[in-house]
Amino acid sequence: MSNKPTQPALSARIQGMPRSNIHLMSALAQQVDDPVSLSWAKPASGTPAHINAAAIEAINAGHCSGYSPGLGLPALREAICAKLKRDNGITADPTEILVTVGAIEGITAALAAVIDPGDEVILPSPNYSTHTEQVRLFSGQPVWVPCIEDESFRLDLDALSRSITGRTRAILFSTPVNPTGAVFSEADLRAVGDLALKHNLVVLIDEAYEYITFDGHRHFSLGSVDAYRDHVISIFTLTKTYAMTGWRLGYLHAPARLIPEINKAHNCNAICAPVVSQYAGLAAINGPQDCVGEFNAKYAAALDKVCGRLDALGDYFAYQRTQGSYCIFPRVLHPAGADSLAFCQRMLAEARVSTTPGCGFGTGGEQHLRITFCCALSDIDRAFDRIEPWIREL
Ligand SMILES: Cc1ncc(COP(=O)(O)O)c(C=O)c1O
């Protein structure tokens, strides 16, 4: 008998990438009767009407049946530059802008341009799990550097500095942070910029939650500081700001010399971002911004609600109050929380509430769970009305 395999082999690289816990929990939730989900980081609100209308208008005008320039519609790139100036303090030229298929494709394309196999990419952790997989996709080596949990998961600058080796090429993180809810301070971000200058590194900053901050915390864009500009790639999205998850539209700002290089990868991934979404994005960025404040008010109320419910369970959960994003990352004090995957699976099966196990978010994530609060207040109450008796009995 021949030992010839019956199926074509898959790449070792892709096989080495674990299945996403977020998708695992969603799949498991489908087997549960009437689950409540606190596991998706997807805004529950719909896209504002004026943005939908602009897309329909562009379709009816026949603007959407071809490709746009790979870098994006010129009018959109101009609008992005005005937005970056207004809201991020970044003085940008359209030659420094690439319109992408959401933030995710922007990060993938940027990493493709920056790292070679075996290069180390530092990930302050707990970190957004997709960032880790994106590094692995290019055969890079993720290097997790834990943040300081007791100080609201702030950056550990000494540990970051110590983790830099001759193979380090980049530092990648989101701020506000998914999953911890930290907003890295301007001073700490400048210190990261200094490390990048000293060691000639690229800092990739996923600014997906740039507008979603609470209690006076403000997001700071490191790309606004001239001294660091050659070392910073700032990645943005319309997903969170305008509840445009499904439109798949984002953009990045990078030094002009990098844009054609990143665009090579973008061309392989996508050719261009969806054209109808680019027209919608133009209306979003140039149109009324009321929705941004309205969404934030909802998230702020939801944060208060989640914290109130967690406070009532202080024997079981310890948490750092979210500064930005719509995620909170409580530590499970109950011994069953030591294995966060088993804990979340059990909570789903027995209490019918879906959360995301912390173990998927890098070093320092185990023993935590990620709760997202971009849902209705009534869902938060329904979830905790189930969690409370369940955990007290555990
Ligand atoms: C930190 C972070 N970056 C990026 C994304 C996805 O962004 P996009 O939809 O623009 O690809 C998410 C979604 O949850 C996120 O939390």
Question: What residue's CA is closest to ligand 1, atom 7?
Answer: 103
199 and 304: one domain?
no
Residue 102 and residue 202 in one domain: yes
Nearest to 353 by CA among 344, 340, 341, 366: 344
How far apart are the CA of 104 and the centre of ligand 1, in A?
6
Determine the Cα angle at 87 with ends 128 and 79, to 5°: 100
Is position 23 within any domain? yes
Judge whether 3 lies within some domain: no
102 with 242: CB under 8 angstroms? Answer: no
Amino acid at 350: E
pLDDT value of position 2: 63
Same domain, 265 and 210: yes
116 φ, ψ (degrees, to nearest 5): -110, 160
Looking at 233, 255, 286, the residue that finishes a domain is 286
- Is 53 within the bounds of a domain? no
User: How many domains would you assign to the chain?
Assistant: 2
Tokens of 318: 């310890």
What is the Å distance from ligand 1's center to 188 Cα?
23
Single out the residue in 257, 286, 315 at which a domain terminates.
286
204 and 239 share one domain: yes
Is 4 among the domain residues?
no
Q: Do 357 and 274 have their domain in common? A: no
pTM summary value? 0.96
* 196 assigned to some structural domain: yes
Does the Cβ of 178 fall within 6 Å of ligand 1? Answer: yes
- 355 in the same domain as 263: no
Q: Would 152 be classed as within a structural domain?
A: yes
Q: Are residues 153 and 231 in the same domain?
A: yes
Nearest CA to ligand 1 atom 16: 178
213 and 301 co-located in one domain: no
Best probe residue, ligand 1, of 177, 237, 370 (max atoms within 8 Å of C-beta): 237
Structural domain contains residue 115: yes
Residue 162 lies in a domain: yes
Show which of 240, 258, 286 is a domain's final residue.
286
Span from the CA of 253 to the centroid of ligand 1 (angstroms): 16
Dist. CA 84 → ligand 1 center (Å): 19
**Containing domain of residue 137, as a range?**
61-286
Mention every residue, 6+ apart, whose C-beta is less than 8 A from residue 73: 99, 275, 278, 279, 282
What whole-number distance in Å separates Cα of residue 177 and Cα of residue 166? 27
Specify whether the CB–CB gap between 168 and 199 falls below 8 A. Answer: yes
Q: Can you give the CATH number for the domain in which 361 is found?
A: 3.90.1150.10
Task: Please give the Cα distance from 60 to 4 (Å, whole number).
Answer: 55
In the reported structure, the alpha carbon of residue 103 is separated from the centroid of ligand 1 by a whole-number distance in angstroms of 6
Q: Could you tell me if the CB of 108 is within 6 A of ligand 1?
A: no
Which pLDDT score is estimated for 104?
Answer: 98
Mean pLDDT, contiguous 10-residue spans, the chain (394 residues): 79 87 85 91 86 98 98 98 98 98 98 98 97 96 98 98 98 98 98 98 98 98 98 97 96 98 98 98 96 93 98 98 98 96 96 95 96 95 98 95
The answer on 265 and 150 residing in a single domain is yes
Structure tokens at 85: 């100036």
My answer on whether 260 and 294 are in the same domain is no
174 lines ligand 1 (CB under 6 A): yes
- Per-residue CA distances from 309 to 52, 206, 305, 392 (Å): 36, 30, 6, 14
Statement to judge: residues 237 and 364 lie in one domain: no
The beta-strand segments (E) located in 197-344 are 202-206, 232-237, 250-253, 317-318, 327-328, 331-332
276 and 356 share one domain:
no
- Please name which of 272, 200, 277, 44 lies closest in space to residue 36, comparing C-alpha atoms: 44
Over the Cα atoms of the chain, what is R_g?
A: 21
Find the 281 Cα to ligand 1 centroid distance in Å: 16
What CATH code is carried by the domain that includes residue 235? 3.40.640.10
- pLDDT at 40 (0 to 100): 80
